[in-house]
A and B are shown apart, each in its own frame.
Chain A
Amino acid sequence: DGGITQSPKYLFRKEGQNVTLSCEQNLNHDAMYWYRQDPGQGLRLIYYSQIVNDFQKGDIAEGYSVSREKKESFPLTVTSAQKNPTAFYLCASTMVYLATNEKLFFGSGTQLSVL
């Protein structure tokens, strides 16, 4: 079955440590997105990628970095510069970027907590 796989489901970060969240899709989608969700709040866009080897900052990119070396993969690194990283992280994709009549496919999320 086609879909988006995020791993790990739970991740713990120590002070000063960088951690990487994995996102893989087998939907052959061009565009991929990373969102952050805090309790009781909506989703906020961290980074997005329209196509391989291209990505742009979203609304809250500070303290995060991404890469898009392969179409199916869009890993997110939470760096030590992100002082409040505890949140639920969601990866999503669409076939084409900015296609307003197209639905988003989401992964099942990664819960990141600080030790």
Chain B
Amino acid sequence: DAKTTQPNSMESNEEEPVHLPCNHSTISGTDYIHWYRQLPSQGPEYVIHGLTSNVNNRMASLAIAEDRKSSTLILHRATLRDAAVYYCILRVGTGANNLFFGTGTRLTVIP
């Protein structure tokens, strides 16, 4: 199975940048890397996704290692509303279930 490994928890000070790491050493060439976040008692929310190149959007940036075995989600200025569980997910090119969710990283933002 394609899997991801993330730290269980991280802390950040408000208005500081946050780097959330993810390892995916079994990734294949056509697998996309997706990030979602989930607030308590809510469904996950899409953050960003990429294949090989670094990606930016209004929410975050995604830095993908050259060998694609790891990636980092970057929140440029953490706010209290960014406190959530962040999931790094591989969207695998084949198989009936191509969505592999791990346990995620719980981000705490300190005022």
Contact = CB atoms under 8 A, between A and B. Distances in A.
A34 B91 CA distance: 16
Interface stretch (A11-19, A63-71, A74-82, A104-112): A104-112
B109 to A, nearest CB: 20
Contact of B96 (A44, A56, A109, A111): A56
A90 B43 contact: yes
Nearest to B106: A40
Contacts of A59: 97
Nearest to B36: A104
Interface string B95-107: 0111101111000
Given A41-B103, A42-B103, A42-B104, A100 B98 contact: yes
Give chain B's interface secondary structure class: loop
Contacts of B36: 104, 106
A96 interface: no
Nearest to A106: B43
A114 interface: no
A101 B49 contact: yes
A42 B43 contact: no
A48 B103 CA distance: 21
B91 A101 contact: yes
Interface in B37-58: 41-46, 49, 51
Interface of B: 30-32, 34, 36, 41-46, 49, 51, 87, 91-93, 96-99, 101-104
